[in-house]
Amino acid sequence: MSEDTPTGFSRRNFIKGVVAAGAVASSSAYLFRSTLLHGQPVAGGVERLITLNVNGQDRRVDVMPQETLAMVLRYKLGLTGTKIGCDRAECGACTVLVDDVPHYSCSYLAHRARGKKIVTIEGLADPATGKLSAVQQGVVEEQGFQCAFCMPGFVMAATGYLKTNPNPTRQELAHGVSGNLCRCQDYDKILTALMRGAELMRG
Ligand code: FES
Ligand code: FES
């Protein structure tokens, strides 16, 4: 059976066309994502190779303008301690510190974090000794979580809150981490663990 159609359009030509179109699409995508064209800045271009300071280290990473900090931390830097629960600023599982302030990293563009100090759950322990932070130690001692999916977010939120109020009442600390949700819903135990962390932090 001939590959040629009555119009002279062959299967071979069709495949050639697809491959060519793909190549055109790829090269135009490459041009649009680049900030330089023939050595000159492209209007509207955004630099993709950026430096993020994460857990005290400068990390070079290729980031699209629309990528969130949570996605970059987890899938480009391998810091999977930061969890993604809702991915829309509702649950707090993705909480990290940016310049010591807790933020939902699922709703924070990675480009916006340039020049800031990002701390994730992996960055809380002492890098030299591996000693856990006070809040982490409180969680270990009180066994405050069930499945612990929400735990990194709570620990980061509490760590950030305790920087502003190191000696909170139980109610104040509950308010301080009220942007975080737990699907297992043992908030009382979580709070006991975080209060223990606050106590350890004060020494
Ligand atoms: S994953 Fe970011 S707030 Fe839920
Ligand atoms: S302990 Fe399971 S989601 Fe919080």
The 8-class DSSP code of residue 120 comes to: -
> For residue 24, what are the domain limits?
11-41
**CATH number of the domain where residue 93 is located:** 3.10.20.30
Would 2 be classed as within a structural domain? Answer: no
pLDDT in tens, 112-134: 999 999 999 999 999 999 999 99
Q: Report the separation in Å between the CA atom of 190 and the middle of ligand 2, taken as the mean of its atom positions.
A: 9
Given a contact cutoff of 8 angstroms between Cβ atoms, the answer to whether 189 and 124 are in contact is no
What backbone phi and psi angles, to 5 degrees, belong to 156?
-70, -40
Task: Answer yes or no: do 28 and 56 share one domain.
Answer: no
Low-confidence residues in the chain, pLDDT < 50: 1-6, 11-34
Task: Answer yes or no: do 193 and 148 share one domain.
Answer: yes
pTM, to two decimals: 0.80
User: What residues line ligand 2, using a CB cutoff of 6 Å?
Assistant: 145-150, 182-184
Q: Report the separation in Å between the CA atom of 149 and the middle of ligand 1, taken as the mean of its atom positions.
A: 12
Q: Report the separation in Å between the CA atom of 182 and the middle of ligand 1, taken as the mean of its atom positions.
A: 12
Report strand pairing: 40-41 vs 101-104.
unpaired
Would 6 be classed as within a structural domain? Answer: no
Would 1 be classed as within a structural domain? Answer: no
